[in-house]
Amino acid sequence: MLDQEGTPTDRDGDAARISTGSAGLDDILGGGLDANRLYLFEGRPGTGKTTLALQFLIEGARNGEQTLYITLSESQAELKVVAARHGWSLDDIDIFELVPPEATLDPERELTVLHPACEAARQDPARSSAACAGRGSGTRAAR
């Protein structure tokens, strides 16, 4: 269901929640992430940013949503290694590599952003934030 502003809602009219793909985190967050919001996860290497992003996208793919991972610091091969360590497959997730060489040298610049993407992001992943600002259409993206 959608409210008057086009925001997804549940049966009670409350803003819909989107599962993170982690039951424990969803429980802590009161049912998941709010729809149509931008989430930034920041941390040093090894803190779980990529794992959280992959869980989020795998959950979306499991629900039949289109998913897109825009990688700014890891290659597709590296992402597949991370997924394999968890017993996950990335077959249903589109991956776009946007890895500038200087980003791989500075661990302080590592960020992960989760965003409900729109069709424009699938056509031009490099413009996803600008092209999709404020619009959710049943797709997910992670960077």
Backbone angles phi, psi at 3, to 5 degrees: -85, -175
Residue range 75-103: mean pLDDT, rounded: 87
* Helices marked H in 29-126: 49-62, 76-85, 119-123
Instruction: Provide CB contacts within 8 A for 49, sequence distance 6+.
Output: 41, 42, 43, 110, 111, 112
pTM above 0.75, yes or no: no
Mean pLDDT of all residues in the chain? 77
Query: Considering the chain, what percentage of its residues have pLDDT values greater than 70?
Result: 61
